[in-house]
Amino acid sequence: MIRVLLVDDQTIVRAGLSVILGAEDDIEIVGEAADGAEAVRLARQLRPDVVCMDIRMPGTDGIQATRAIAADPALSSEVLMLTTFDIDEDVFASLEAGAAGFLLKGADEATLLAAIRSVAAGDGTLDQRLTRRILREFTARRAPAAVTDRGAAGEVALTEREGEVLALLAEGLSNAEIATRLFIEPTTVKYHVAQLLQKTGARDRLQAVLWGIRAGHVDLH
C-alpha cells in the first residue's frame, strides 16, 4: 500500500486528487495539508511514502517544505511536485531541494497514478513532455544540491553497463524498457540501478541522472 499525503492550498484540487487516488487499491490517502508548514508537520507525524506537493502556496511554499522533508534523516518520504507551470525557476528549485520528480497538473489520471507509483518505488519521475528540456536547462543553470559531488572529483567509477543504464534512465525508460533495449533481464537492470544509487549517493533514479549529467556521464545533446 502506497501511503500518500496531499498538499495543495486549493481545497478543490485536493478533493479531485482524493477521488482519483482513493479509487486505487494500492494507494491510501493518509492526510491533507493546505500549506508547506502543515505538510512538513504531517509528514513527520504520518510518515507517508509519497507527498504530492503543490509548488506555489502562501506562507511556507512547496519548495521550502520539500527541502525540509528531504533533509530530515528520520523521513523516507518521496516528494512529487505537482505544478501548473512549464519551465520555471520553481521547477529547478524543487529538484535542487530534493524532489523525486514533478508532474504538470494537466496530466491525465493514468500518468498521475504511474508517477506516484514510480516515485514510491524510488524511481523518480519527470513529466515526459518536459524531461530532456528540463534536464538540459537545470544542468546548465546549477548543480543539484541533493546530489553528491563525488563524481565531479572523479572518485566514482562506473562500469560500462552502469553507464549504459544511466544514459537510458536519462531518457525516462523503465526497468523493463531498459532491459529490452540492452537485451538483459529486468532484475539485472534493477541491480545496476541499485549500484548506481549506492555509488552516487543519490536518493532515487532522477537524482542519479542529475548526478550523471553533472559528472559528465550523461550527454543530453
Beta strand 101-104 with 125-126: parallel, antiparallel or unpaired? parallel
Tell me the percentage of the chain whose pLDDT exceeds 90.
Answer: 53
Q: How far is CA 205 from the centre of its chain?
A: 8
- Please list, residue by residue across 82-96, b when 16 or more beta carbons sit within 10 angstroms of its beta carbon and e when fewer do: bbeeeeeebbbbbbb
Top pLDDT among 65 and 91 is at 65
* Segment 105-151, tens digit of pLDDT: 888 999 899 989 988 987 777 665 556 666 667 666 655 444 444 44
Residue 146's pLDDT is: 44
Residue 201's pLDDT is: 86
Residue 126, helix vs strand vs coil? strand
Instruction: Say how far apart CA 168 and CA 121 lie, in whole Å.
Output: 18
- Beta bridge partner(s), residue 127: none
Q: pTM of the entire structure?
A: 0.77
Averaged confidence pLDDT in the chain? 85
* Segment 5-33, tens digit of pLDDT: 999 999 999 999 999 999 999 999 999 99
Residue 63's pLDDT is: 94
Tell me the one-letter amino acid at 14.
Answer: R
Instruction: Say how far apart CA 178 and CA 189 lie, in whole Å.
Output: 7
Instruction: Say how far apart CA 2 and CA 172 lie, in whole Å.
Output: 22
Which domains, ranges and CATH numbers included, belong to the chain? 2-140 (3.40.50.2300), 148-214 (1.10.10.10)
